[in-house]
Amino acid sequence: MEVIFIKDLKNQGKKGQIKQVKDGYAENFLIKKGYAVIKNKENLAKLQHEQDIKIQQDKEAKDKAKIIKEKIEKETLEFKVKTGEQDRVFGSVSIKQIKDQLEKKGYNIEKSQIDIPNPIAALGFHNINIKLYPEITAKVKIHVIK
């Protein structure tokens, strides 16, 4: 019997996957527990509709990320830090500080999206990466001043 998985099931199938399984396993476990439905025209149409919606949502999210990338790359974030002798910076600029600065400028960025290759612990300009979408990463300038 062919079934369409409607939930992920470890080592068996992922949501949206069509798979050939034994009749008893399909009826007594997969369908009964809500992991799959029988493959028929109605369920295939429903699956196709869900996939079309997901593709459309991904396209919209990707377009939105491209627009944000263009805007955010024009920004320069400025951080005023305390320095000691010979302009040595105390501490470094944190991801939280960067997130807060971006929020003040109107960008809703999560801390997990911000990637700092090296700690920002020196005066001057630095570049950071912000992952807006799996293939879209924006480079933002950070200016550290005393």
92 pLDDT band (50/70/90 cuts)? Answer: confident
Which pLDDT tens digit goes with each residue over 9-57? 998 999 999 999 999 999 999 999 999 999 999 999 999 999 999 999 9
Assess whether pLDDT exceeds 90 at residue 121: no
Token pair of 99, please? 């997130």
pLDDT band at 88 (very low <50, low <70, confident <90, very high): confident
Residue 126 tokens read as 């630095």
Q: Let me know: does 128 contact 140? Beta carbons within 8 Å.
A: yes
Residue 124, both tokens: 């001057």
Q: Are the C-beta atoms of 139 and 128 separated by less than 8 Å?
A: yes
What is 12-71 written as a DSSP string?
TB-TT-EEE--HHHIIIIIITTTSEEE--HHHHHHHHHHHHHHHHHHHHHHHHHHHHHHH
**Under CATH, to which class is 2-64 assigned?**
alpha beta
CATH architecture of the domain formed by 67-145? Roll (3.10)
The domain locations on the chain are: 2-64, 67-145
For residue 84, pLDDT beyond 90: no
